[in-house]
A = this chain, B = another copy of it.
Amino acid sequence: VGDQGQDFDRASAVVGRGDGTSYDADLHPAWTNAGHPNGGYLLATMARAAATSVLHDGHDHPHPLAASATYLRPPSVGPATVVVEVLRTGRTASQARVTLLEGDRTCVEALITLGRLSDDKPVFDDLAPVALPPEEDCLRFGAPPADPGVSAGPGAADPVTELRLDPAVLGFTTGVPGGTAEQRGWLRFTEDTPLGPLHLLYALDALPPATYDLGSVGWVPTVELTAYLRGLPAPGPLRVRQRARLVQGGRVDEACEVWDSTGRLVGQAVQLALVRLDARP
């Protein structure tokens, strides 16, 4: 069963300092990409602090409905501080500015709208779940690192997620990218704790960069990420798709959608990221 401290809910927990605005977090190595905490995991940690402050102000708005983050510097794993400024509270929604710091260095700042997701039926739904081969025909992505002690991210010896990508988008792993600027696959959280809305923030930033299928090299650091949570996810594997539309001037947009195991759209995100990709000859 492994280290319970790495469960998403615990790993994204915050401990208030009693002033309603400052929180201690402990960023866990299980939820990293290339050694840095996943951007959606950071946002989940920040959303927890925001919901706590809003509750402190008398409003039970546990779920982030919209969260926009600007990534200034990648934090490391370990202790971090989260500072919340509640901008407005309301009957059905509240807004907060949330800052994540490492020491006195601001790493991420976010604007988060909080409220309550429900099981409302869609009045209009125009986005069918992404077509994927059966989960067992998709390929596990993220090999165990040589030394699990060094990087215990997804794919490590005691993995926290199981990400299986459609083989059609995996050409980049053998040097033959398909040219579609898309990544898609199934994502499972392997922990025993129930799948909640905050997990969706992780899912919305969990795929490899869509530009890998165009042959981009190296890290694709996120400049800005905006996530909308739309529903409470049913248990089971998530379908995730990330697509890029325009690569230009060293920047790329990516749009991500997440559907739950019943086929409902439960999360959407866009991000602007930096990318190294040469025009084809």
Which A residues fall within an 8 A CB radius of B? 65-66, 68-70, 72-73, 87-88, 93, 95, 97, 106, 109-111, 113, 117-118, 120-127, 181, 211, 214, 223-224, 226, 228, 230-231, 243-253, 255, 265, 268, 270, 272, 277-280
Contacts and interface: CB of A to CB of B under 8 A. Distances in A.
Contacts of A93: 223
B224 A127 contact: no
Contacts of A125: 245-248
Contacts of A226: 68, 224, 226, 270
Given A224-B226, A226-B224, A248 B120 contact: yes
Number of copies of this protein chain within its complex: 2
A123 B70 contact: no
A211 B125 CA distance: 12
Nearest to A182: B126
A120 B247 CA distance: 10
Given A73-B88, A111-B111, A248-B231, A65 B126 contact: no
A66 B272 contact: yes
A272 B87 contact: no
14 contacts: A66-B223, A66-B224, A110-B111, A113-B223, A118-B249, A122-B248, A123-B278, A124-B211, A124-B246, A125-B247, A125-B248, A126-B246, A228-B270, A270-B270
Given A124-B277, A253-B230, A65 B245 contact: no
A125 to B, nearest CB: 5
Contacts of A250: 120
Given A117-B249, A125-B245, 20 more contacts: A65-B251, A66-B70, A66-B272, A68-B70, A69-B111, A70-B113, A73-B88, A95-B109, A113-B272, A120-B248, A120-B250, A121-B248, A122-B246, A123-B248, A123-B280, A124-B252, A126-B243, A126-B246, A230-B246, A230-B248
A244 B66 contact: no
Contacts of A214: 123-124
Q: Report which residue of A95, A120, A228, A243 has the largest number of chain B beta carbons within 10 angstroms of its beta carbon.
A: A228
Contacts of A123: 214, 247-248, 277-280
